[in-house]
């Protein structure tokens, strides 16, 4: 079995009110990723994603663009030692 990693991400730009969290949840579920997506008060989206390195890399690729109406200005991410609950939720 391939190991799993957890990535903590902050996505900035026009990423709230454009179905970014819902799209991230769809992508994460399709990739078998656990974690969450939530809006932050400063306008960014906070994402925690745990899965195989390949699955997490695929989600990061999606986060760099987001859904059609989003305009991602920046994606910051770092690997962390956190194990989220099973499934992918919108908080």
For 10, 27, 30, 80, 85, the CA distances from 14, given in Å and listed in that order, are 13, 19, 24, 25, 28
39 is catalytic: yes
21 is catalytic: yes
Active-site residue identified among 4, 14, 39, 89: 39
Active-site residue identified among 21, 25, 44, 50: 21
Q: Scan for tokens 């989206």, then name that residue.
A: 45
Question: Which residues face 6 on adjacent strands?
Answer: 50, 80
Q: Alpha helix (H) ranges present in 1-91?
A: 20-31, 53-63
* Residues marked as catalytic: 21, 39
């Amino acid at each position: 079995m391939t190991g799993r990693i957890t990535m903590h991400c902050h996505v900035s730009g026009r990423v709230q009110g454009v179905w970014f969290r819902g799209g991230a949840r769809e992508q994460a579920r399709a990739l078998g990723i656990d974690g969450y997506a939530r809006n932050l008060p400063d306008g960014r989206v906070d994402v925690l994603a745990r899965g195989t390195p390949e699955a997490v890399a695929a989600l990061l690729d999606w986060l760099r663009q987001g859904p059609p109406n989003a305009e991602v200005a920046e994606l910051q991410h770092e690997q962390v030692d956190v194990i989220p609950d099973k499934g992918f939720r919108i908080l």
